[in-house]
Amino acid sequence: MSDDAEHRRLVIAGSGIAGLSAAIYAARSNNDPLVLEGPEPGGQLTLTTDVANYPGFPEGIGGPELIQDMKAQAEQFGTEIDTGVIVDVDPGTPHRIELRDGTVYTADALIAASGASARTLGVPGEDELMGYGVSTCATCDGAFFRDEDMIVVGGGDAACEEAAFLTKFADTVSIVHRREEFRAEDYWVDRVRELESEGDVEVLTNTELLEIDGSPEEGVESVTLARNPEGHPTEKLDDSDTERFEMDVGAVFMAIGHTPNTDYLQDTGVELDDAGYLETVGGSGGGQTRTGVEGIFGAGDVVDFHYQQAITAGGMGSKAAIDADAYLEDLEREAEGTADPAAADD
C-alpha cells in the first residue's frame, strides 16, 4: 500500500486557524504544505458568527469569513487544501499517513493542528442556535450579550471561570450543574460562592438543561431546565421525580469541556497527557512546538487546553511552521552530507 503513497514535504492536519496559519508560513517558506480538512472544516471558529477580538478587524469579522480569507491567503502562496481524516500515522523518515478513505501519504514533516472539539449536550435547539446565543466560549462571545440574562452549563473549572467572566457583561448569570458538588478547584468554587453571596451569580445545582428555545433571527429566548432533588441525571429518574421549569435567558454558554482530536496520534510515540492533549517540548501553550517524535509538531487547541483563543492558535501555527522549516532544512543538509552537528542543540 505504501508503494502507492504520494510523498509530500509537509502535511498539516487541520484547517482551523492554527492549521491555516501554519500553512501560510510554510507555503511562504516553499515547503508546499498539504492541509487536510477533517470532519469539522475550519474548526471551532466557524461556529462563531462574529469575532471581535482578533487584531486587525475593528468592526469584527464573522468566524467563517475569517477562515475563508485565511484559506485564500494560504492557497495564494501555494498551499493545497484537501478533505481527509487521518486515522493512522506510522512515524519514520518519512512518516506514513493513512486517511479514512484509504489514501496514503508519506511526509517529511507533520504538523498536528487538528484542534479540540467542544463537548455539547445534544439537547433540542442547541445545534440550531449555535452562534446565535449558544456558545462554547465566553471569552469569545460574552460581550455580544451585554445586559442579557445568561446561563453557564457545567461544574468544572471552565464553567466557574466563564461564569465569573460573564458577570462583567450579564444582567444575571446562572450556573447550571447537574450534580450537587462542583468538580472545580477550590479556588474557583470559592470564587463562585463569593459572587453568589454578592448577588452576581446564581448557582443551580442538581439541575440539567433539557431544551433551548429561540431562533437564529431572534436568538436564544428561554431554556427548559429540570431540577433533580436527588442529584441524579434526569435519564435515571421518572418524570414525577423531576421539577421542570423555564427560564428566560438571552445566552447559553456550554462549559463542559473539550475533547482533543488526537486519536490518530495514539500509537506514534508522541506524548499525550491524561486528557489526550498533545505534549510539546517546552510545555503546553508555550515553548517550542516540537514533539518527542522527530518531524511531528503540534499547534493550537490540540496542544493548548488553557488559552483556546484564535490568536494564540494562530501564533502557535506560525511557530510550528517555523520549527518544521528548520527541521526540513536539517533533513536536506543530512541528505547532502552537510549537516551542522551543532544544529541539533539549537
Which residue numbers are catalytic?
A: 137, 140-141
For residues 39 and 85, give the distance between their C-alpha atoms in angstroms, rounded to a whole number: 7
The DSSP 8-state label assigned to residue 292 in this structure reads S
For residues 183 and 139, give the distance between their C-alpha atoms in angstroms, rounded to a whole number: 21
Task: Name residue, grid cell 518527542.
Answer: 292
DSSP-derived 3-state class of residue 252: strand
The torsion angle over the Cα atoms of residues 19, 22, 26 and 27, rounded to 10 degrees, is 60
What is the residue-wise DSSP string for 153-212? E-SSHHHHHHHHHHTTT-SEEEEE-SSSS--S-HHHHHHHHHHHHTTSEEEE-SEEEEEE
Q: In terms of C-beta density within 10 A (0-12 exposed, 13-18 middle, 19 or more buried), how is residue 139 classed?
A: middle
Check: CB of residue 212 under 8 Å from CB of residue 178. no
Q: Is 233 left (phi over 0), alpha (psi -120 to 50) or beta?
A: beta
